[in-house]
Amino acid sequence: MLRITDARTGESVDAAPSRRGLTRVEAHVPGFDAGALRVLLVADLLVRALELGGTPVWGVLAADAQHSELRAGADALGIRPLEDRRDVGSGLGEGQVIHVVGQGWETPEGLRVAVAPVHTAEPGTGEDADPTALRLALLYRHHSHPVRLDAEVLADAEASLVRRRRAVADWARQPSRPVPEEARTRLRTAWEDNLDMPAVLDVLTWVETAAEVADGARFETYAYADRLLGLELTRDLGSPA
């Protein structure tokens, strides 16, 4: 069961209603910047994690300004489309509503997940980066901790993506094997603990290097985890060796 930390109380609570009713994830941003994109990314991860757990969920964008810029930036980062709050209204019978907000931002009443800010080395940092590398760079740190983006961090994320995608393409050439139960358990334990993405990435590193894991199982594990991470890890399948 996915549990998140409620920013109002600091307590860990279930992210899904007890009766598996519809959960609405509402991302609140004042406008377009790196911090706002991180809020949208955390909302996206929350939607994906709830879906993987079998919970009906829908995502909503509550933005004060720059809607087109936000949607373009979100699309580039692989964030699933969010419905506009102005069009959907409220009170549609959800079992639970979770508000995803930036730390210190004005927020509505109710259960909420607070996302720490993004600090950039200089204005415009990340604008020319591979959007998926930027997504990975934002996943390096838990959403409750600030992120610093600079050229070194983005270059490391891009190199990591290239290496992981090449490895996945190589593993895909081997006979398929099921996701090892230990890997599945460790992945779910990580992301169900307040969306701990750094821990999820650590599990993938273990899968990549563990001698007891067959290449076919490595491939299936990475493909399974990417349903949450959204890093297009299988993008290079079929490319020349």
Q: What is the pLDDT along the chain (241 residues), one digit of tens a residue?
A: 899 999 999 999 999 877 667 899 999 999 999 999 999 999 999 999 999 999 999 999 999 889 999 999 999 999 999 998 766 555 556 778 999 999 987 777 889 999 999 998 776 666 677 999 999 999 999 999 999 999 999 999 999 999 999 999 999 999 999 999 999 999 999 999 999 999 999 999 999 999 999 999 999 999 999 999 999 999 988 766 5
Q: At what angle do helices 131-139 and 151-171 cross, to 10 degrees?
A: 100
Q: Where in the chain are the domains?
A: 3-115, 156-229
156-229 is classed in which CATH architecture?
Answer: Up-down Bundle (1.20)
Report the C-alpha gap between 148 and 173 in whole angstroms: 37
Quick check: pTM over 0.95? no
